[in-house]
Chain A
Amino acid sequence: MALVRKDLLLELRSREVVPAMATFVLASFVLFRFALGGDRLGGGVRAATGLLWVAVVFTAMLGLSRAFASEREHRIWDGLLSTPVDRSALWLAKACSTFVFLVVMQAVALPLFWLFFLQEGRPPSIPVLVAALLLADAGIASLGAMLAGLASASHAREVLLPVLFLPFAVPLVLVGVQVTVATISPQTSAMDTLERLGFLGLYATIFALLGWALFEYVVED
């Protein structure tokens, strides 16, 4: 908890990550809106939902690129690693703070998304969309904290993180779009929705277990 509190305190004081993510997601929506259809988005709500998930993933990557910035820039890793704290706890703390940042960013992004893209047509189910985003956030935070830790040790970290992260994000976007779009159709069964949400939960669980087990080898070179 001390490490999570530290990350939140640092963000409150620096206002470095969350405002950048919120600005990025707003800019993405504006670009999508004008580049793909002006005031009428081709493909309607389905296409818009896809854009939302793509924006979520790219915005998350922006946040993850700064996840270990303080530790790297001031060589604080040496201080943290010389303490007896479990390396898995270092990963867990970073995953938790990343999760919080993602949720805050999406609290800003969702109303904007609605405003920009969902004024016409039948919208997706809000509870399902929120549940899918929260599960996806858990997966992104679990995987992302591990990969950001790995990339932070590299000189090519700005290139390495997207190269490592984006392939793993593909299933998230595919299933996230499917589960959200499916709720537009009145014929979609609750079981289908639960199965897809279950996949997102499984994704988060797998990468949480991997992060917990492997982070020691990621940070101790």
Chain B
Amino acid sequence: MSSSEAVRCSGLVRRFGERDALAGLDLAVADGEVVLLTGPNGAGKTTLLRVLATVLRPSAGSASLYGHALPGQAAPARRLVGYAGHEPLLYPLLTAAENLRLYSALHGSDGAEVESALEGVGMARRAGDRVEELSRGMRQRLSLARAMLHGPRLLLLDEPTSGLDDEGRGVLLTLLEQPGRTAVVATHEPDWFAGVAGRAVAIDRGRVAV
């Protein structure tokens, strides 16, 4: 595998009981490329992102991130990936800063980057507010800050525009426009990403639609 390849999936299968959410999916994403995943609900977009985020193990086939095969080499791969899911993945009873400090510690950092991460998404003034007190758009922005906290090479974003306010959409665009940015974005709004995405890949019934 080339080192300039961020993602490679070959015959990737992920089963939930009897159902194949991914049914032999093939995908390659080059380093520096922004790829959109499109397709109907239940097509397998979220499952693919969760496998790439090392949250789920593949049932069969292969997946690798920057040459690290999953799940065997998941530990080094996790340092390279930032994942923002449907939910903000934040503790509602903790403040914005406390949540980011927690994730910073889980990435082995001392939290020095938390302040700038909050500023980056326009949340510095709300650092001391509990997540449960924030609007949906603010939570989504905070989720982006969480995913970007450790400076990942690859961003995995699941419906990032869902519930995102205008300021957040601006932050997201700026993020994806950065030179060399690599991202895989599942979306129902491919047109909105037209200016930043290199290509779109349609997923249907767990495979890349031809």
* A contacts, CB < 8 Å to B: 1-3, 6, 9-10, 13-14, 70, 74-85, 220-221
Query: A83 contacts B107, CB within 8 Å?
Result: yes
CB distance from B22 to the nearest CB of A (A): 14
CA–CA, A221 and B89, complex, Å: 18
Query: A82 contacts B57, CB within 8 Å?
Result: no
Given known A70-B91, A74-B87, contact A82–B108 (CB-CB < 8 A): no
21 pairs, CB–CB < 8 Å, chain A vs chain B:
A2-B102, A2-B105, A3-B106, A10-B91, A10-B94, A74-B87, A74-B89, A74-B90, A74-B91, A75-B89, A78-B50, A78-B55, A78-B89, A79-B90, A79-B146, A81-B55, A82-B78, A83-B106, A85-B107, A220-B56, A221-B57
Given known A81-B54, A82-B83, contact A6–B78 (CB-CB < 8 A): no
Contacts A84-B106, A221-B56 given; 14 further ones with Cβ under 8 A? A2-B106, A3-B106, A10-B93, A13-B93, A75-B86, A78-B53, A78-B55, A78-B89, A79-B103, A81-B53, A83-B107, A84-B108, A85-B106, A220-B56
Given known A81-B54, A84-B108, contact A75–B87 (CB-CB < 8 A): yes
Total A-B contacts with CB atoms under 8 angstroms apart: 77
Query: A6 contacts B89, CB within 8 Å?
Result: no
**B83 to chain A: which residues have CB within 8 Å?**
78-79, 82
Interface string of B161-173 (1 = CB under 8 A from A): 0000000000000
Q: Which residues of chain B from 94 to 132 have any CB-CB distance to chain A below 8 Å in the complex?
A: 94, 98, 101-103, 105-108
Query: A79 contacts B85, CB within 8 Å?
Result: yes
A-B pairs with lowest CB-CB distance, top 7: A79-B89, A2-B105, A83-B106, A84-B78, A82-B83, A85-B106, A82-B53
CA–CA, A14 and B55, complex, Å: 27
Number of interface residues of B (CB under 8 A): 31
CA–CA, A80 and B83, complex, Å: 10
Query: B90 contacts A6, CB within 8 Å?
Result: no
Interface string of B66-102 (1 = CB under 8 A from A): 0000010001101101010111011111100010011
